[in-house]
A and B are shown apart, each in its own frame.
Chain A
Amino acid sequence: MDTDNDNSLDRTDDFDNGDGKPEKMFTLKKWNAVAMWSWDVECDVCAICRVQVMDACLRCQSDNKRDVLGKQDCVVVWGECNHSFHFCCMSLWVKQNNRCPLCQQEWCVQRMGK
């Protein structure tokens, strides 16, 4: 918040300056806009391995897998139910039960990526 508001109140004792126009009570001197952001995912932690989905999953961290750019290549997968997990974590789970671990709906991949 801007606290420098000594002059923000342009008030005179007499509202009518004599020319018939009422004096402005306030003048906007400063306007601070605040923007908020968050990752565009419903849950930011993979509920299977409990690591942030934007970080590499526990398995990739311990295998220390890297792609050609030297970055950890561990992508996020979103289901039709909008729940997101690490692709690595989810691909192991769906082998034994093709349901979303969070809502138990049948698991259908909606999209994949970072």
Chain B
Amino acid sequence: MSTPARRRLMRDFKRLQEDPPTGVSGAPTDNNIMIWNAVIFGPHDTPFEDGTFKLTIEFTEEYPNKPPTVRFVSKVFHPNVYADGGICLDILQNRWSPTYDVSAILTSIQSLLSDPNPNSPANSTAAQLYKENRREYEKRVKACVEQSFID
């Protein structure tokens, strides 16, 4: 059955393949275009560098009028990532626009890794260390980068 949401996701997938943004990749799961697996590579010149962070993206039939649920599967130590992998990012909640596609979502999350927002923390330890003890923050991030190779 082809619904508008599914057709739009096919277009998203085509665009992601034809014009792939650097450092991110994603594809629908084998039997369900509404559930995607994605990988974000840690941006250069950040403590996340070299990390391979896996995510799942779950869409509803209301896409693109409603944002998908995006969650890190890999453990990510970051001020705006919850312990369960949930992501606190305005464009995935109240600032969502139906003009976004998978490519835009993944690149936004990638830039969130480089630029955390410690003022709306999802992980208060990470937010506090980011503000007060950058050395320790980077040490904890590097530990999750190494963990990401095994996950």
Contact = CB atoms under 8 A, between A and B. Distances in A.
B99 A62 contact: no
B4 A50 contact: no
Contacts, number: 35
B134 interface: no
Contacts of A48: 64, 98-99
A93 B65 contact: yes
B65 A50 contact: no
Given A48-B99, A49-B4, 7 more contacts: A49-B64, A50-B15, A59-B4, A62-B2, A62-B3, A102-B97, A102-B99
9 contacts: A47-B99, A48-B64, A49-B4, A49-B7, A58-B4, A62-B3, A92-B65, A93-B65, A101-B99
Interface of A: 47-50, 57-59, 61-62, 89, 92-93, 96, 101-102, 104
